[in-house]
């Protein structure tokens, strides 16, 4: 799952990026408002983490223009501005949630999970597809109740395929969702992850749709 991080403070940016990567997200980090705008114009993100005090274009202005053009991507504002008036202004401008610096990385990760869950129209915290159950809070995956340990990339791939029932993703779309910018992607990396996931979840867990891509097979049994 791809997250856009908009933060000009190098220490906070680095910490947030690493924290979210460990949670299995692909994180694209930009350091000013203009770079954020061009990233949002060209890529699809599961969520945006937005600092307000930014060079080139202020976070609040960015948020307003995003909502004016009806972009529905969930936005979590992360900022040092912590007056009630600032929080109200941020939420009124279209932010979905608000976190005041300094914040705890575990809390940030939990809020991102909640945002992504709400955006997907999933009030329940567990994702179930056939015999496969995913707990995004703990990143625990079970097949017919038995825990199956996955690598961070395998987990990210499974989450991408489980995002919506029946979704079919091409190799390019999968690469987009599980790798951030500048990350080295081997030419057969996706095939390797699919192969490993099938081995762990059951050979019929992921179906190849010829000429299109991959889909999670709904009636998976262990
Ligand atoms: Ca800042």
In tens digits, what is the pLDDT along the chain, a chain of 222 residues?
Answer: 899 999 999 999 999 999 998 888 899 999 999 999 999 988 889 999 999 999 999 999 999 999 998 888 999 999 887 788 888 888 888 899 999 988 899 999 999 999 988 887 776 778 888 889 998 878 899 998 899 999 988 999 999 999 877 889 999 989 888 887 777 788 889 999 999 999 999 988 999 999 899 999 866 444
Residue where a domain stops, chosen among 119, 148, 182: 119
* 0.85 surpassed by pTM: no
The neighbourhood of ligand 1, an ion, using CB within 5 A, equals 8, 51, 53
Range of the domain at 81: 2-119
Same domain, 94 and 45: yes
Q: How far away, in angstroms, is 105 Cα from ligand 1 center? A: 17
Q: Give the whole-angstrom CA distance, residue 59 versus residue 152.
A: 30
Which CATH number is 201's domain given? Answer: 1.10.10.10
Same domain, 107 and 199: no
The total domain count for the chain is: 2
CA-only gyration radius of the chain, Å: 18
SS3 30: strand
Q: How far away, in angstroms, is 180 Cα from ligand 1 center? A: 22
Same domain, 115 and 131: no
Same domain, 65 and 151: no
Q: How is 114-168 classified by DSSP, letter by letter?
A: HHHHHHTT--SS-EEETTEEEETTTTEEEETTEE----HHHHHHHHHHHSSTT-E
Q: How far away, in angstroms, is 104 Cα from ligand 1 center? A: 17
Same domain, 115 and 134: no
Q: How far away, in angstroms, is 53 Cα from ligand 1 center? A: 4
Q: How far away, in angstroms, is 119 Cα from ligand 1 center? A: 26
Residue where a domain stops, chosen among 79, 102, 119: 119
Same domain, 38 and 112: yes
Same domain, 105 and 151: no
* Angle separating helix axes 189-201 and 171-178, nearest 10 degrees: 90
Q: Give the whole-angstrom CA distance, residue 64 versus residue 210.
A: 42
Same domain, 92 and 154: no
Same domain, 7 and 98: yes
Q: How far away, in angstroms, is 59 Cα from ligand 1 center? A: 9
Q: How far away, in angstroms, is 14 Cα from ligand 1 center? A: 13
φ/ψ of 176, rounded to 5, equals: -60, -35
Percent helix, strand and coil across the chain, each to the nearest 5: 40, 20, 40
Same domain, 65 and 157: no
Q: How far away, in angstroms, is 192 Cα from ligand 1 center? A: 39
Residue where a domain stops, chosen among 58, 92, 119: 119
Same domain, 30 and 105: yes
Q: How far away, in angstroms, is 8 Cα from ligand 1 center? A: 5
């Amino acid at each position: 799952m791809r997250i856009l991080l908009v933060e000009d403070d190098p220490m906070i940016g680095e910490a947030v990026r690493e924290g979210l990567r460990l949670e299995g997200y692909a994180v694209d980090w930009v350091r000013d408002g203009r770079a954020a705008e061009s990233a949002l114009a060209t890529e699809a993100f599961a969520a945006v983490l937005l600092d307000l005090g930014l060079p080139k274009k202020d976070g609040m202005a960015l948020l307003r223009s995003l909502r004016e053009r009806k972009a529905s991507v969930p936005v979590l504002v992360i900022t040092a501005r912590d007056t009630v008036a600032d929080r109200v202004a941020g939420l009124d401008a279209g932010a979905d949630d608000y976190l005041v610096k300094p914040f705890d990385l575990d809390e940030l990760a939990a809020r991102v999970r909640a945002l992504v869950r709400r955006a997907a129209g999933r009030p329940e915290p567990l994702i179930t597809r056939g015999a496969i159950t995913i707990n995004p809070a703990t990143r625990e995956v079970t097949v017919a109740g038995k825990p199956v340990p996955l690598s961070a990339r395998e987990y990210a791939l499974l989450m991408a395929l489980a995002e919506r029932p029946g979704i079919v993703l091409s190799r390019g779309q999968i690469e987009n969702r599980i790798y951030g910018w500048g990350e080295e992607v081997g030419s057969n990396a996706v095939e390797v992850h699919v192969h490993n996931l099938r081995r762990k979840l059951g050979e019929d867990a992921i179906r190849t749709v010829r000429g299109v891509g991959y889909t999670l097979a709904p009636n998976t049994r262990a």
